[in-house]
């Protein structure tokens, strides 16, 4: 017989069983008992400067580790996490938001308590809209069943869950030892799976220009090896969405590039759109992918589209097939395909190279950065030019690129570097962040210094919001200029530098990559009118889209 668990200890034990080794957050009186349990557990608490940063850090941790967690106090902490949890939900990142609430006995005596909004259930009701399970463990007789139902939903859909424990029940015994985790995940309907694979076999056999489009869910479900085996066995080209960038090695001989409706290269777009059989695996289709219901690929029945929600082949759906079972089956069944198309050519090598004393530009900066990436670097891109220019980078192994490429929330990258560094300490984060996004969450470098992390932060300082400038210019897109490199003095660690020329960028980046003992902040001074090729493509396509919407 094991030791009788309490509601709080049962949740902590479950988190550890599922792979959580670090939990991010800020303490508050409604979660202090939970924090005490965390301190006694094998899970390490990582203190952040803001609750939304704890959410972003847990998101990045989950994208690499398979599950992440944040623990914050009631309402003032939890509601600060709304945007980060919304990002995790939109981009299918399995994050557990653990929080407290006023004790049940307190609610009887005091109908209004500090941090409360409207009523005691308001916070949980808010998170019901952006999680796949939202539970309050307010009954010891049902707590284990409710928490396991939430964890099963997280693993089934790879999206966030919300767990709330009233503070006077944290140490309440369940009344029996914690049972082994039973997820009760229904297997796929075997007959439906065989039928679906038969349809795929027929479509591939008849195709002359087949291709694969891989999205982020391949990574969320840990199916990268299955994907690589499938590509190599079928010998057909593969592209990734921007959100799924790095789910397969980008130096793979069959890799065609990033496909995305607003920023991808024209030749990659044409290559994928010209497919007569497109196998879409793990991609949520949005305006960033530009493959909607009106696309000829879909309207003409040329797609096989599998996600955690459903499998759709041609014009009908299989709702009883699990995504991971479908991908496994693709790799194990006898499938064959023929493709003789040449891949889109790589980007041309710039000749001659830029003069070292030339003013630094986005094009020169990213071309040089591309040559410095190796198997020990992890690129984390915030939104704006940081993301659009990074789309053309070539990463060298899986999980070398993280970004909020679909939800596109500013402020993701710096706290994400903290989470990613704890998820895989062998990788060196190179953080690409605009000055506007850095002003939102750049203070989280304090956490990196506190825990001895050494990211290289490249701030693209163009004094404003460049994406919005491209859409509609106006003084509202300007921001106050900071001495960003001086944040190292403020947080008590790291080395800052101002970068104005290409020589300064190359020399400082080389120094930073060679120095494994300090984080670096590079304040790169850019012309506000400078644009990357990705931004130019986005602006052109947005303008075309907006022109068709005008009366």
How many residues in total does the chain contain?
A: 551
**What does the block give as tokens for 18?**
């599922």
Question: Hey, what CATH class is 190-332 in?
Answer: alpha beta
pLDDT value at residue 190: 92
Cα separation, 279 vs 225, in Å, equals 17
- Burial zone of 41 (CB within 10 Å; 0-12 exposed, 13-18 middle, 19+ buried): middle
Cβ atoms of 424 and 452 closer than 8 Å: no
123-142 tens-digit pLDDT? 999 999 999 999 999 999 99
Helix and strand element counts for the chain (H, E):
22, 21
- Distance (Å, whole) CA 201 – CA 183: 32
Write out pLDDT tens, residues 370-417. 999 988 999 999 998 899 888 888 887 666 899 998 888 999 999 999
Question: Confidence band (pLDDT; 50, 70, 90) for 361?
Answer: very high
**Angstrom distance (rounded) from CA 164 to CA 428:** 35
| Mean local confidence (pLDDT), 132-153 | 95
Query: 69 falls in which pLDDT band (50, 70, 90)?
Result: very high
Instruction: Evaluate if residue 346 carries a pLDDT over 80.
Output: no
DSSP structure class, residue 158: -
* Most confident region among 343-347, 363-367, 392-396, 458-462 by mean pLDDT: 458-462
Q: Are 302 and 276 in contact (CB under 8 A)?
A: yes
Rounded CA separation 143/163 (Å): 10
Residue 283 or residue 524, greater confidence = 524
For range 271-295, the mean pLDDT: 75
Range with the poorest average pLDDT among 127-141, 182-196, 205-219: 182-196
Spacing of C-alpha 261 from chain mean position: 19
- 53 pLDDT more than 60: yes
Domain boundaries, the chain: 4-177, 190-332, 362-537
Residue with tokens 């006995």: 105
pLDDT, the chain, mean: 89
Q: What is the mean pLDDT of residues 360-375?
A: 92
Say what the pLDDT of residue 293 is.
47
Do the domains 4-177 and 362-537 sit in the same CATH topology, yes or no?
A: yes
Top CATH class of 362-537 equals alpha beta
Q: What is the pLDDT of residue 41?
A: 97
For residue 317, what are its two tokens?
């759906």
Instruction: State the Cα torsion 118-123-126-127 to the nearest 10°.
Output: -170
Across 2-9, average pLDDT: 84
Q: Are 401 and 379 in contact (CB under 8 A)?
A: yes
Question: In this predicted model, what pLDDT tens digit does every residue of 325-339 receive, in sequence order?
Answer: 999 999 888 888 888
CATH class of 4-177: alpha beta
Q: Which letter does DSSP use for residue 359 in this model?
A: B
- pTM of the shown model: 0.92
């Amino acid at each position: 017989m094991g030791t009788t668990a309490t509601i709080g200890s049962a949740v902590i034990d479950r988190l550890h069983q599922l792979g959580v080794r670090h939990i991010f957050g800020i303490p508050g009186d409604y979660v202090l008992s939970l924090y005490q349990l965390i301190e006694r557990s094998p899970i390490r608490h990582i203190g952040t400067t803001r609750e939304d940063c704890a959410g972003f850090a847990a998101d990045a941790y989950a994208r690499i580790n398979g599950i992440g967690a944040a623990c914050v106090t009631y309402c003032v902490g939890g509601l600060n996490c709304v945007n980060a949890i919304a990002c995790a939900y939109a981009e299918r990142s399995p994050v557990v938001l653990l929080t407290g609430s006023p004790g049940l006995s307190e609610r009887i005596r005091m109908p209004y308590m500090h941090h409360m909004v409207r009523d005691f259930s308001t916070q949980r009701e808010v998170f019901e809209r952006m999680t796949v399970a939202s539970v309050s463990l307010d009954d010891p007789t049902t707590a284990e069943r409710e928490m396991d139902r939430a964890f099963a939903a997280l693993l089934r859909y790879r999206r966030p869950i919300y767990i709330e424990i009233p503070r006077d029940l944290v140490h309440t015994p369940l009344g029996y030892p914690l049972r082994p985790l039973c997820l009760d995940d229904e297997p796929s309907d075997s007959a439906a799976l065989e039928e679906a694979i038969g349809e795929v076999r027929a479509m591939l056999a008849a195709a002359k220009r087949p291709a694969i489009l891989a999205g982020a869910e391949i990574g969320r479900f840990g199916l990268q090896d299955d994907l690589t085996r499938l590509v190599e066995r079928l010998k057909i080209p593969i592209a990734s969405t921007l959100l799924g960038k790095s789910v397969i090695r980008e130096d793979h001989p069959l890799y065609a590039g990033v496909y995305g409706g607003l920023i991808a290269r024209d030749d990659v777009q044409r290559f994928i759109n010209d497919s007569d059989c497109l196998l879409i695996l793990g991609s949520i289709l949005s305006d960033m992918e530009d493959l909607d219901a009106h696309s000829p690929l879909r309207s003409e029945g040329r797609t096989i589209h599998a996600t955690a929600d459903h499998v759709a082949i041609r014009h009908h759906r299989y709702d009883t097939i699990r995504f991971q079972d479908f991908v496994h089956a693709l790799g194990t069944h006898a499938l064959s395909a023929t493709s003789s198309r040449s891949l889109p050519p790589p980007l041309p090598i710039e000749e001659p190279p830029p003069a070292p004393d030339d003013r630094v530009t986005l094009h020169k900066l990213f071309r040089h950065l591309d040559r410095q990436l190796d198997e020990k670097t992890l690129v984390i891109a915030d939104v704006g030019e940081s993301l659009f220019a990074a789309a053309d980078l070539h990463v060298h192994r899986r999980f070398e690129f993280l970004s909020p490429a679909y939800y596109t929330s500013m402020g993701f990258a710096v706290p994400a570097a903290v989470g990613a560094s704890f998820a895989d300490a062998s990788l060196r984060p190179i953080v690409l962040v605009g000055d506007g996004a850095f002003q939102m969450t750049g203070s989280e470098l304090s956490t990196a210094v506190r825990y001895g992390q050494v990211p290289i932060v490249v701030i693209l300082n163009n004094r404003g919001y460049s994406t919005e400038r491209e859409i509609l210019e106006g003084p509202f897109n300007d921001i106050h200029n900071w001495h960003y490199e001086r944040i190292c003095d403020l947080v008590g660690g790291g080395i800052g530098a101002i970068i104005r020329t290409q020589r300064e960028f190359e020399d400082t980046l080389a120094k930073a990559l060679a120095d494994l003992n300090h984080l670096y902040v590079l304040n790169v001074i850019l012309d506000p009118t400078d644009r990357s090729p990705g931004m130019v493509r986005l602006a052109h396509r947005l303008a075309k889209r907006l022109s068709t919407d005008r009366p």
